[in-house]
Amino acid sequence: MFYLASEIVKLNLQATDGELGKVKDIYFDDQHWTVRYFVVDSNKWLPGKKVLLSPISFDYVDMGNETVSVLASKETVKNAPNQHEHEPVSKQVEMDLTNYYGWPPYWSGYGGTLPWGGYGNPLTLLETYDPNARHDDFTLENREDYHLRSAKEIQGDLFGYTVETENGEIGYVSDLVIDESSWKVSYLVIDTKKKLLDSNFRFLPIENIKEISWQDRKIVIDPNVTEQQINQVSI
């Protein structure tokens, strides 16, 4: 099932013993384009701190009732390692969270094409995880790696990242489409601002992205993909 990121940030997070708060943002990695964490709006009980929960910890998502059930108590989440709200999340921070919750590290076997430790979804990773296994791919050199990106940033409050072909700008990112089975960001929703015909919105498969300039807030589409092909994409 596909969800829009704008729908996910309306969800309420439920711990095993009560409500935690709402989803504030979604963090995905810029290598596999996969959701790694929901950011919890914790201002009522932990103001100024960033609280992250991995899809590995989700019991189930109920979009009809706008809730996500988390396999952790409120006290466990409140006592988890956290950092100041506006600080970037390094691999060391992720490792601290993984150790605290006992999550299997998604970056184990990360060199392959599958986003969850060599598997297609977090449930399979969790079921096959051996906590006694060595994970030598985490080294001192990558402790300060920063590969997490904010969904709210790329889609923007009013205008998200611009999207360009070789012929120039065609619009901007207005939303992300996420596959709930794998938590992969499968498509970007482009508001074409009437630059293309028929409709104002198009779905751009992630595979059609040539490059991203995070500093310039710009996405460039693969030159082999035409505007006509973008018009034909539907989900």
Residue-level length of the chain: 235
Strand-pairing partners, residue 153, are: none
Q: What is the mean pLDDT of residues 149-178?
A: 90
pLDDT (average), residues 161-187: 92
Of the candidates 161, 149, 147, 61, which has an alpha carbon nearest to the alpha carbon of residue 107? 147
pLDDT above 80 (res 29): yes
In whole angstroms, what is the distance from residue 193 CA to residue 160 CA? Answer: 12
User: Distance between CA atoms of 38 and 51, rounded to whole angstroms?
Assistant: 8
- pLDDT band at 173; cut points 50, 70, 90: very high
Residue 31 has pLDDT above 60, yes or no: yes
pLDDT tens string 78-101: 999 988 888 889 888 999 999 999
Inform me whether the pLDDT recorded for 143 exceeds 80.
Answer: no
Which residue from 18, 6, 24 is spatially nearest to 69, judged by alpha carbons?
A: 18
Q: What is the pLDDT of residue 24?
A: 94
Residue 218 has a pLDDT of 95
12 pLDDT more than 70: yes
Distance CA 41, CA 13 (A): 10
In whole numbers, what is the pLDDT of the chain averaged over residues? 86
How many angstroms separate the first and last alpha carbons of the chain? 11
Task: Give residue 217's pLDDT.
Answer: 94
Question: What pLDDT does 109 receive?
Answer: 64
C-alpha 47/C-alpha 84 separation (Å) is: 9
pLDDT at position 111 is 56
List Cβ neighbours of 157 (8 Å cut-off, separation of 6 or more).
none
Least confident of 40-44, 48-52, 139-143, 168-172: 139-143
**Percent of the chain, pLDDT > 70?**
86
Could you give the dihedral angle defined by the CA atoms of residues 102, 90, 190 and 165, in that order, rounded to the nearest 10 degrees?
-130
